[in-house]
């Protein structure tokens, strides 16, 4: 049901943590594939992806272009974009499944609640952003139906921050924040 897409560059350890948090989704049958699209890592990123059973692709160029290429290769009707170093809470599988069930056919997307930030200052900035209704951050992940992703044109190859740009184009009113958290883990 879900293809997970992760863009990487020299992030062997953060990728391992992120992939480990996705295992419950694979066990439950919600995650059908994971695609790691790499910008040319020189560390063990490829070995981590291979050991986890991910499809590993190497693609040079802007992150937006790489994410769009990976999305085109994905086989499932829902795409989950997650950054390396993001660890989803234990309850993420049920939250994602409920969102998919409720949103079938609708043009909406979901992000995870931003959990623990690695520093107190970042946590304060997150709380302030939430209070003023700011758009979610790319670190919160993005769960979106492939059809809606395609209607939006996917990630913009030339955007300075293609993940934030896509969230902006989705718009606050079409974004659901799931109760499960996405926690940033610094290496």
Give the per-residue pLDDT at 129: 57
Q: Which residues contact 101 (CB under 8 A, 6 or more apart)?
A: none
The ranges assigned to domains in the chain are 2-184
Question: How many angstroms separate the Cα of 24 from the Cα of each of 11, 28, 36, 115?
Answer: 22, 6, 18, 19
**pLDDT by position in tens, the chain (length 187):** 999 999 999 999 999 999 999 999 999 999 999 999 999 999 999 999 999 999 999 999 999 999 999 999 999 999 999 999 999 999 999 999 999 999 877 899 999 988 866 556 655 665 555 555 578 889 999 999 999 999 999 999 989 999 999 999 999 999 999 999 999 886 6
The answer to whether the pTM exceeds 0.75 is: yes
CB distance 145 to 76 below 8 Å? no
Phi, psi values for residue 126, rounded to 5°: -65, -45
Q: What is the predicted pLDDT for the residue at 100?
A: 96
DSSP states of 74-91: --SSEEEE--TTEEE-TT
Q: Tell me how far apart the alpha carbons of residues 113 and 111 are, in angstroms, rounded to a whole number.
A: 7
Q: Alpha-carbon distance 130 to 126, whole Å?
A: 6
Which of 44, 70, 68 has the alpha carbon at shortest distance from 57?
70
Angle at 92 between CA 100 and CA 187, to 5 degrees: 130
Cβ atoms 38, 8 nearer than 8 A: yes
| CATH superfamily label, 2-184 | Spore Coat Polysaccharide Biosynthesis Protein SpsA; Chain A (3.90.550.10)
Q: Return d(Cα 15, Cα 29) in angstroms, integer.
A: 21
């Amino acid at each position: 049901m879900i293809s997970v897409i992760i863009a990487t560059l020299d992030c062997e350890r953060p990728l391992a943590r992120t992939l480990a948090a996705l295992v419950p989704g694979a066990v439950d049958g919600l995650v059908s594939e994971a695609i790691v699209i790499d910008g040319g890592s020189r560390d063990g990123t490829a070995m981590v992806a291979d050991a986890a059973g991910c499809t590993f692709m190497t693609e040079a160029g802007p992150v937006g272009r790489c994410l769009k290429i990976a999305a085109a290769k994905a086989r499932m009707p829902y795409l989950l974009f997650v950054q390396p170093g993001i660890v989803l809470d234990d309850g993420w599988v049920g939250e994602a499944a409920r969102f998919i069930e409720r949103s079938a056919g609708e043009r909406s997307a979901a992000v995870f609640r931003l959990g623990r930030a690695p520093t107190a200052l970042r946590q304060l900035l997150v709380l302030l952003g939430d209070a003023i209704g700011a758009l979610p951050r790319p670190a919160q992940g993005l769960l979106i139906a492939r059809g809606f992703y395609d209607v939006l044109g996917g990630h913009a190859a030339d955007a300075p921050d293609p993940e934030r740009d896509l969230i902006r184009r989705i718009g606050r009113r079409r974004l659901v924040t799931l109760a499960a958290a996405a926690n940033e883990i610094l290496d």
